[in-house]
């Protein structure tokens, strides 16, 4: 039995749930795998990439601040990661390091799994224009969404994102709107999906600019990438309005499941993996 080593690189890395999630999964499945945490500062990436091949590492996850800067160090980058300009999963194959991004597909898989939502022909409103928003935007565009409203506190970031995506997906209507109650209200009646891809929601906060969710159509699904708390103020309000909801833990779980598939060629037992993730979250 060959022991395989996986891990995650980032800074800060102490709060990452991945080591506990994968660790508990490997133990419960009695797999001869290890998952380690590598605290790696900005300037240390080159040295790590050079050395890691000799350590018996089979693959690793990548988080802040290395998701973009790792690209030039890789032998090959999968088309999704290339288009997103960000890698969250690396497979080590002999001497070669191959980069992937499982955030985009992970988000959509979890959304479809939990709510049945399929993007084709639909309209979405995405709040936020950071890395998470970019991955979600990509997943929706790649899967035939019809129209997207993009809104961000720093409007210029949303505009940059819109122009980049219009080049790749010229047929999809992407419109930037200001993050104000008035502008958001204007589009509420048109959307099938509302996504909070900002950091707001942590510790019980809520985007003050967001109009009451009761103004959304009954068909609308409310999705939040924040998973601390598991049920954010936004999701609680959506439930009170009897809207379907989708929490941030799903994206975390499914991006990890896709990484596992890349590393091992096998599908993990999602229920068991989710249990490890929820336990890790409780203990954190």
Q: Footprint of ligand ATR on this chain (CB under 6 A)? A: 128-133, 152-154, 157, 198-200
Residue 120 in 3-state DSSP? coil
Q: How many helices (H) and strands (E) does the chain have?
A: 10, 12
Closest CB to ligand ATR among residues 67, 274: 67
Q: How far is the CB of 200 from ligand ATR (least distance, A)?
A: 5
Instruction: State how far the Cα of 178 lies from the Cα of 158, in Å rounded to an integer.
Output: 9
Instruction: State how far the Cα of 140 lies from the Cα of 150, in Å rounded to an integer.
Output: 12
Closest CB to ligand ATR among residues 33, 107: 107
Q: How far is the CB of 95 from ligand ATR (least distance, A)?
A: 31
Closest CB to ligand ATR among residues 131, 247: 131
Q: How far is the CB of 11 from ligand ATR (least distance, A)?
A: 14
Closest CB to ligand ATR among residues 200, 249: 200
CB 172 within 8 Å of CB 147:
yes
Of the residues 67, 146, 167, 203, only one is catalytic, namely 67
Instruction: State how far the Cα of 281 lies from the Cα of 284, in Å rounded to an integer.
Output: 5
CB 110 within 8 Å of CB 223:
no
Instruction: State how far the Cα of 162 lies from the Cα of 145, in Å rounded to an integer.
Output: 14
Closest CB to ligand ATR among residues 4, 157: 157
Q: Is 67 a catalytic residue?
A: yes
CA-nearest of 156, 138, 130, 162 to 64 is: 130
User: Computed over its alpha carbons, how large is the radius of gyration of the chain?
Assistant: 19
Q: How far is the CB of 30 from ligand ATR (least distance, A)?
A: 35
Q: How far is the CB of 42 from ligand ATR (least distance, A)?
A: 16
| End-to-end Cα distance, the chain | 32
Beta strand residue intervals within the chain, DSSP E:
4-10, 33-39, 57-62, 76-77, 89-93, 96-100, 123-127, 147-152, 173-178, 193-196, 221-224, 244-246
Among all residues, whose Cβ is closest to ligand ATR? 130
Q: Which residues are catalytic?
A: 67
């Amino acid at each position: 039995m060959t022991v395989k080593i996986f891990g995650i690189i980032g800074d800060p890395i102490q709060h990452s749930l991945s080591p506990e999630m994968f660790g508990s999964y490997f133990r419960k499945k009695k797999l001869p795998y290890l998952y380690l945490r590598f605290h790696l500062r900005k300037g240390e990436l080159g040295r790590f990439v050079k050395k890691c091949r000799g350590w018996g590492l089979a693959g690793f996850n990548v988080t802040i601040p290395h998701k973009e800067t790792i690209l030039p160090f890789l032998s090959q980058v999968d088309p999704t990661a290339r288009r997103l300009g960000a890698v969250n999963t690396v497979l080590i194959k002999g001497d070669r390091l191959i980069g992937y991004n499982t955030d985009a597909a992970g988000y959509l898989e979890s959304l479809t799994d939990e709510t049945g939502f399929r993007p084709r022909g639909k309209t979405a409103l995405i709040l936020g224009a950071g890395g998470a928003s970019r991955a979600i935007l990509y997943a929706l565009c790649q899967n035939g969404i019809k129209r997207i409203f993009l809104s961000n506190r720093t409007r210029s970031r949303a505009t940059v994102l819109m122009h980049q995506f219009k080049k790749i997906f010229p047929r999809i209507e992407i419109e930037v709107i200001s993050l104000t109650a008035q502008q958001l209200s204007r589009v509420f009646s048109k959307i099938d999906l509302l996504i909070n891809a900002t950091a707001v929601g942590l510790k019980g906060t809520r985007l003050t600019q967001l109009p009451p969710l009761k103004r959304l159509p009954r068909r609308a699904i409310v999705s939040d990438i924040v998973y601390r708390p598991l049920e954010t103020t936004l999701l609680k309000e959506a439930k009170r309005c009897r809207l379907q909801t989708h929490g941030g833990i799903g994206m975390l779980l499914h991006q990890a499941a896709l990484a596992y598939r890349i590393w091992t060629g096998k599908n993990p037992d999602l229920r068991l993996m989710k249990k490890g993730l929820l336990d890790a979250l409780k203990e954190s």
